[in-house]
């Protein structure tokens, strides 16, 4: 039975590990939000500066919408919102979800199985070291949350949204 010698010296192991780390770091570089949605490309919301966003939104919503933060789970009052109505982007008011698409995912964030498709954009997010699909408001590019393939029928999707990134309007 042949014996294979892999990595004879610590220096070779170090080079291998450095190469793997460098490759991983380039893969984790943030991808720019998709700003190509034609109907919103000229939106005035895309020209608002960061200081103005912070003033308009307040700290918690500003951190999530403009800096892709995540609110703590089970802290949003929208988790317990069960009235009929519409969930919209808190940054610009663009409608994203209908109340009949909301369900309790048990994750601690408002979750939906369907989204108004033309009103979101997506990008790949490597913030936790594994690829996830981040979605954002197509009009103002505000970060909303991530979409996963473990949701209920009819779509099998779970749009896991930060509550501070949404506003709710009852009908």
Residues with catalytic function: 160
CA separation, residue 156 to residues 95, 96, 102, 148 (Å)? 21, 18, 13, 8
Rg value, the chain, Cα: 20
Nearest CA among 169, 145, 170 for reference residue 158: 145
**What are the residues whose beta carbons fall under 8 Å from the beta carbon of 76, sequence distance 6 or more?**
109, 110, 162, 163, 164
Output the CA torsion sign for 42, 47, 53, 56.
Answer: negative
Is residue 61 within 8 A of residue 165, CB to CB? The reply is: yes
**Tokens read off for 123:** 């990008």
User: Would you call 99 helix, strand, or coil by DSSP?
Assistant: helix
């Amino acid at each position: 039975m042949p014996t294979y010698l892999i990595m004879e010296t610590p220096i070779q192991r170090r080079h291998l590990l450095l190469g793997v780390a460098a490759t991983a770091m380039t893969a984790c570089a943030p991808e720019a939000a998709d700003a190509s949605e034609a109907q919103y490309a000229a939106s005035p919301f895309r020209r608002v500066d960061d200081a103005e966003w912070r003033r308009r939104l307040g700290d918690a919503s500003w951190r999530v919408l403009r800096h892709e933060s995540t609110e703590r789970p089970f802290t949003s009052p929208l988790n317990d919102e069960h009235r009929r109505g519409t969930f919209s982007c808190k940054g610009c008011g663009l409608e994203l979800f209908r109340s009949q698409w909301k369900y309790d995912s048990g994750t601690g964030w408002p979750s939906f199985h369907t989204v108004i498709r033309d009103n979101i954009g997506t990008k790949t997010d490597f913030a936790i070291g594994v690829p996830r699909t981040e979605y954002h408001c197509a009009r103002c590019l505000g970060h909303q949350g991530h979409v996963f393939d473990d949701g209920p029928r009819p779509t099998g999707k779970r749009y896991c949204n930060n509550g501070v990134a949404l506003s709710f309007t009852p009908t």
